[in-house]
Amino acid sequence: MKPQIEVPFHRPSIGEEEIQEVVRTLRSGWLTTGPRTAAFEQEFRTYVDVSYAQAVNSCTAGLHLSLAALGIGPGMEVITTPLTFCATVNVILHVGATPVLADIGPDGNIDPESVASKITGNTRAIIPVHLAGLPCQMSSLWALARSHGLHVIEDAAHAAGARYMDQPVGGGNSPSGNHSDAAVFSFYATKNLTTGEGGMITTANEALAEKVKILCLHGISKNAWDRYTARGHWYYDVLFPGFKYNLTDIQSAIGLHQLRKLDSFIEARTRYAGLYNHLLDGVEELELPPDRSDSRHAWHLYIPRLRLEDLTITRDDFITALRERGIGTSVHFIPIPLHRFFAAFANRPENQCPRALALYPRLVSLPLYPALSETDVEFVANAVRDILQKSRKRRPVSVARAMTNVSS
């Protein structure tokens, strides 16, 4: 019999505020992009301290739009990480460019040294991904981008509410003057801030913001609209073959209230991550998730790493054992080279990423979201401890080695 789920991998935090705002939107008669989307964009701009924010119907759409608006296309290479969701790589292919995989560093994020080694005369952009909500080493990536004339588009799908050093991820008004061309957030159902489906592009670049806005809605120019309103309200002019990537007011109604709660969500996530760290500290078969003291982790995901050499079970056995105890988990991510479609290109010498492939079998994402209780976290941590203790490898060899060391 299937076990009763006690702690699912995710439960959204949707309150009465979101529900009432959606109801008001439905009653207002304005369903698609309108006043609530404009308000959501404005509040998001203020939250991340940036000049421009464009709401879109997914992070995938936002990444695609950013690449297209920056003129990335055929014959150009875009460097990204293998430890990401397939969308990060799909969008590079959608604009006709060539994805290049850099390897990861010890923090699981793209390694700036590996990026440096993969830059060629055709490289035009870097897409770093803040895995789990842990900011990448942006200062090294920005320095590389500056010296090679590259664009940087942050895949900030996990990073709503994260801060890198002195500024919010996606911000453009840092005292240091450093920022990316664009950052793209996801409001997918499981993300830190949700609108069911949705996303946001932030940028400090006015020309890029304008291009993104036009491409987001069929390539129709708002300015052209203004210029020709003399002809009547029916007139519009298409400047580019654009996309249909706009966010509806029904979704923005949810987003407005989610954004106002984001800091309290991050506080809860941080508290539960700290509780996991406390309860799992000293479990030898487990390495706690990476963190950095100079930034604010958004704790979208809690991803400890199994020490497989100390265990008689695999990660998949571990996931099954947790499932049998009613605990939902996930894996972030199946590295890009392991997907059938990407295998051929990932086999090329320039796309080798052995560290990502070695880390993958050790990764497991435990439940982490504001709707958890401390009891839930304790229940999960106890189950993790118990399963790992029962699966500990006996190590007579290392004992013998220790004794040899003593006698010599």
Ligand X SMILES: *Cc1c(COP(=O)(O)O)cnc(C)c1O
Q: Which residues contact ligand X by CB under 6 A? A: 58-60, 84-85, 87-88, 129, 155, 157-158, 186, 188, 199
- CB nearer to ligand X: pick between 333 and 379: 333
Min CB(198)–ligand X separation in Å: 7
The structure tokens 């990537």 sit at 245
The amino acid that residue 137 corresponds to is Q
Min CB(388)–ligand X separation in Å: 27
Min CB(329)–ligand X separation in Å: 16
- CB nearer to ligand X: pick between 152 and 280: 152
Min CB(331)–ligand X separation in Å: 12
- CB nearer to ligand X: pick between 353 and 387: 353
> How far from chain centre, in Å, is Cα 94?
19
Round to whole Å and give the CA distance between 35 and 248: 10
- CB nearer to ligand X: pick between 44 and 188: 188
Contact 291, 282 (CB under 8 A): no
Spell 180-193 as b/e; 16+ CB within 10 A means b: bbbbbbbbbeebbb
Min CB(268)–ligand X separation in Å: 20
- CB nearer to ligand X: pick between 144 and 193: 193
Own/partner contacts of 161-164, CB < 8 Å, gap of 24 or more, are: 161/133, 161/192, 161/193, 161/262, 161/263, 161/265, 161/266, 161/296, 161/298, 162/130, 162/133, 162/134, 162/135, 162/295, 162/296, 162/297, 162/298, 163/135, 163/295, 163/296, 164/135, 164/136, 164/138, 164/295
Min CB(186)–ligand X separation in Å: 3
Residues making up the chain, counted from first to last? 408
Round to whole Å and give the CA distance between 370 and 13: 7
- CB nearer to ligand X: pick between 99 and 286: 99
Cβ within 8 Å of residue 219, ≥6 positions away: 238, 239, 240, 241, 242, 243
- CB nearer to ligand X: pick between 90 and 391: 90
Cis link prior to 44 (omega < 30° from 0)?
A: no
Catalytic residue set: 191
- Give the Å distances, CA to CA, from 364 to 165, 324, 331, 357, 360: 27, 16, 5, 14, 9
Helix (H, G, I), strand (E, B) or coil at 151: strand
Round to whole Å and give the CA distance between 146 and 366: 38
HSE-CB for 7 with a 13 A CA cutoff: 25
Min CB(142)–ligand X separation in Å: 20
